């Protein structure tokens, strides 16, 4: 069985030079082509940031303190094209007020964001339907909590 190449455990072996040269050339060509089309020479080039770019970002960076004051950083009315991070800031502001049990401020903020001023101005801008619904949910929870606090007093 040792001399038989058609046996159950027989493995077809090619010379190392034939196998590696053909597969390396295919892989190298594909990788080089993909990197060249994106304008990158290496993976490090794709994620690199120049020192000047880093210093520019560093100069503008402000730490966000979660002390119940995120709502003060939200600029109203919201833009018609809202970035995901801006929408998250609105939701985080309401969540933070709820967490700190500042229910009356949370309700006022939600009403301000959603434009419940009575003048028909849409302050919510580019908020999607899911975000609007979540704000309404927090508004309802806060109203329920305030009613529960009033009953206890």
Which whole number is the average pLDDT over 50-59?
A: 88
**Dihedrals phi, psi of 10, to nearest 5 degrees:** -75, 135
The 3 state secondary structure assigned to 11-25 is CCCCCHHHHHHHHHH
- Count of residues in the chain: 153
Residue 150 has pLDDT above 90, yes or no: no
Tell me which of 146 and 65 has the higher pLDDT: 146
Which whole number is the average pLDDT over 23-52?
A: 60
The torsion of the CA quartet 137, 141, 144, 146, rounded to 10 degrees, works out to: -130
Q: pLDDT tier at 28 (50, 70, 90 boundaries)?
A: very low
Element (H, E) at 131: helix 129-152
Tens digit of each residue's pLDDT (9 = 90 or more) over 44-53 = 666 778 889 8
- pLDDT in the model for residue 12: 64
CA 146, distance to chain mean position in Å, is: 32
Which structure tokens are listed for 29? 């060509």
Residue 37 has pLDDT above 90, yes or no: no
pTM of structure: 0.54
**Residue 80 and residue 74 in contact, taking contact as beta carbons nearer than 8 Å:** no
Q: pLDDT tier at 27 (50, 70, 90 boundaries)?
A: very low
Tens digit of each residue's pLDDT (9 = 90 or more) over 68-94 = 688 888 888 888 888 888 889 999 999
Tens digit of each residue's pLDDT (9 = 90 or more) over 94-113 = 999 999 999 999 999 999 99
Which whole number is the average pLDDT over 17-35?
A: 50
* C-alpha to C-alpha distance for 82 and 111, rounded to whole angstroms: 18
* C-alpha to C-alpha distance for 1 and 114, rounded to whole angstroms: 81
* C-alpha to C-alpha distance for 76 and 64, rounded to whole angstroms: 19
Backbone Cα Rg of the chain:
30
- pLDDT in the model for residue 139: 96
The torsion of the CA quartet 98, 85, 133, 94, rounded to 10 degrees, works out to: 10
Residue 29 has pLDDT above 50, yes or no: no
Tell me which of 119 and 100 has the higher pLDDT: 100
């Amino acid at each position: 069985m040792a001399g038989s190449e058609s046996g159950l455990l027989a493995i077809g072996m090619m010379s190392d030079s034939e196998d590696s040269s053909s597969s390396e050339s295919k892989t190298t060509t594909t990788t080089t082509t993909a990197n060249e089309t994106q304008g990158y020479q290496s993976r490090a080039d794709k994620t690199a940031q120049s020192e000047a770019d880093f210093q520019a970002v560093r100069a503008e960076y402000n730490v966000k303190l979660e002390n119940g004051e995120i709502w003060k950083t939200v600029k109203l009315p919201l833009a018609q094209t809202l970035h995901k991070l801006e929408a998250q800031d609105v939701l985080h502001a309401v969540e933070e007020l709820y967490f700190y049990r500042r229910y009356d401020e949370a309700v006022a903020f939600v009403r301000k964001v959603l434009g419940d001023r009575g003048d028909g101005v849409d302050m919510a801008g580019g908020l999607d339907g899911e975000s609007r619904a979540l704000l309404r949910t927090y508004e309802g929870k806060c109203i329920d909590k305030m009613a529960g606090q009033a009953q206890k007093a």
